[in-house]
Amino acid sequence: MAPDETMTSGNEPMPERRTAFADLIRSRRTELRMGLDAFAARAVDAETGKRVKKGWIYRLETGEPVTPPQVEELRALAAACDLPLEALQDAAGSQFHGVDPLVSGSSESKAYVRKLDTLPADQRERLLRLIDTLVPPGDGVG
């Protein structure tokens, strides 16, 4: 009987390998039909001038270990990908920190949640009470 590939030699589960960020960068670079040199040349944060090096991008795309990107590198890669910073933040959070982005059936719901984060705590609480009057807790939620 072949050993289970999802188990370590001590019969403990292998840690989940997430690749959302690497997949996003690789697929976007392919969509843009850009080689590593051209892509890396575009990967510059407009605010700080921070650049993401070709070697880091290569290691990321090939599954080699990399240091998780900081916000400056995320902005640089967002510029290279021609994507919103939030898309890269969601993918990086998933891959490097196990934080899954908000998954929703509509972009409208995501926009509401992002706006909700800007409200003071007392206003969020009032809004939640209003929503509970329209859709009582437990009614199709969860």
Domains identified in the chain and CATH numbers: 20-97 (1.10.260.40), 102-142 (no CATH)
Enter the tokens of residue 129: 């009470």
The residue with greater pLDDT, 140 or 44, is 44
The pLDDT score that the predictor gives to residue 122 is 87
- How far is the C-alpha of 72 from the C-alpha of 142, rounded, in Å? 35
User: In this predicted structure, which of 13-22, 62-71, 127-136 has the lowest mean pLDDT?
Assistant: 13-22
Q: How distant is the alpha carbon of residue 97 from its chain centre?
A: 9
Distance of CA 65 to the CA centre of its chain: 17
Task: Return the beta strands (E) in the chain as ranges.
Answer: none
Helix, strand, coil percentages in the chain from 3-state DSSP, rounded to 5: 55, 5, 45
For residue 9, the model assigns a pLDDT of 57
Residue 33 pLDDT level (bands cut at 50, 70, 90): very high
Calculate the CA dihedral of residues 8, 23, 79, 87 and round it to 10 degrees. -80
Q: How high is the pLDDT of residue 29?
A: 97
| More confident: 55 or 140 | 55
